[in-house]
Amino acid sequence: MWALRRPSVTWLDDQLARVATVPLSYDEVGMTRQPEPPPGYGREHARVELAIDFAAAREAVASFATHRLPYLFVHPADARVVLGANVLVCARLGPVWSINPCRIVYLCDAPGRFTYAYGTLPGHAEAGEETFTVERTATGVMAETLAYARPQDVLARVGRPIAHRVQAKIKRDYMAALVGYAGAHGSPDAAST
């Protein structure tokens, strides 16, 4: 879904209600648990070791703090990662907004490791799945995001070469937001290693 200006909360609530019970826009649910994407899907990946507190990193991922960027946000604003929950990932791309409905399709909350994936719903610019993981290491936290996706709407197909660069930037920004949140809410020595 596309908008010429930042969408209102009321409009976003309406869109979230509209996708409440619709099926995912792809068949390969859980595909990001595999090392390679299914045929026809692209792969975007970012992994970084961070000298931050695991509990703060876990909370950052569980509360979508990774998505609180100047050009990106999740609706509802107080959303938490809960299996089956729907969210809208809203991104400003130049002068327009892309509103992308997603559903949490799997979640693993174990001691020292937190990971979830959201899958795309109809109306998302792409079809596929993206995971977000934080895991305790000997020196801090490993943070990772992995997406398997293919264009779903016309603009995404036309802009596919640009989308790769945009996705790479977003993944770096996810990690920066994670470090910023963890530094403000947990570890005083939060720094990228």
> Tens digits of per-residue pLDDT, 82-134?
999 999 999 998 899 999 999 999 999 999 999 999 999 999 989 999 999 99
pLDDT in tens, 149-168: 998 765 565 556 666 667 77
Alpha carbon 130 to its chain centroid, in Å, reads 6
Q: By CB neighbour count within 10 A (0-12 exposed, 13-18 middle, 19+ buried), where does 185 fall?
A: middle
Bridge partners of residue 13, in order along the sequence:
none
Q: How confident is the model at residue 193 (pLDDT cuts 50, 70, 90)?
A: very low
Is 169's pLDDT higher than 90?
Answer: no
Q: Which whole number is the average pLDDT over 5-13? A: 96
